[in-house]
Amino acid sequence: MTRHERQRTSSGTRGSIASAAARLMAEDGITDYHHAKKKAARMLGLPENSPFPDNAEVEAELRAYRSLYQGEDHAELIAALRQSALELLDLLATFNPYLTGSVLDGTAGEHSNIDILLFADSAKEVEIFLLNRGIDISHVESRNDRVEAVLRMETDTADADLIIMPPNMERVSLKRHDGLPHDRIRADALRALLKE
């Protein structure tokens, strides 16, 4: 097999995995990209050392899948999730909140959480703020060493993960697994997005 044939086969394998992973994420509610890619490869009968697509490739396939198969329903879901996120950003304004993740980028599904970044001196400060307002929270394990705590709370549309970081991290651009920066927006930008 020539080098060109190997590249074409590798590209085809990556595309197949990206497509299958996107379908799993859309239909089964899988939110972890790596888990979706591994499951997709197994489902396709590919060996474990198959070349995996990066998250951006899966995200592009997920957008295409949702647009093709979920269309208007998905647009309504995203609008409802973003409205809930806006209410959270307004509520938590004291902690310099940002919306990030799948609700912002438009790939969220019915099983997705709303991800809100908060910057506070301590997680306890945020907990007390929420408890004083009668809002129930639970703790979720963080997968990032720089995150002080992740608090989960319910909204009308989905659970929200409040990702608490120290104030000095606000100017730091957080990276995704594929090395690209996480997008994030404040309440005013989200208001403008909801009016589009």
pLDDT of residue 4: 42
- The secondary element (H helix, E strand) that includes residue 159 is strand 159-165
Report the sign of the C-alpha dihedral through residues 130, 132, 137, 142, in that order. positive
- The pLDDT tens digits for 58-108 are 888 988 888 788 778 888 999 999 999 999 999 999 999 999 988 998 888
Unique residue bearing structure tokens 């989960």 = 152
Q: How far is CA 44 from CA 38, 57, 60, 61, in A?
A: 10, 17, 19, 16
pLDDT of residue 26: 85
Mean pLDDT along residues 179-186: 79
Which CATH architecture group holds 73-195? Answer: 2-Layer Sandwich (3.30)
> For residues 171 and 133, which has the higher predicted lDDT (pLDDT)?
133
pLDDT of residue 176: 62
> For residues 34 and 162, which has the higher predicted lDDT (pLDDT)?
162
Among 35-44, 56-65, 69-78, 168-177, the least confident range: 168-177
Mean pLDDT, rounded, of the chain? 86
pLDDT of residue 75: 86
pLDDT of residue 132: 96
**What 3-state class would DSSP assign to 100?**
strand
Q: pLDDT category, 5, cuts 50, 70, 90?
A: very low
Give the pTM: 0.75
- The pLDDT tens digits for 113-132 are 999 999 999 999 999 999 99
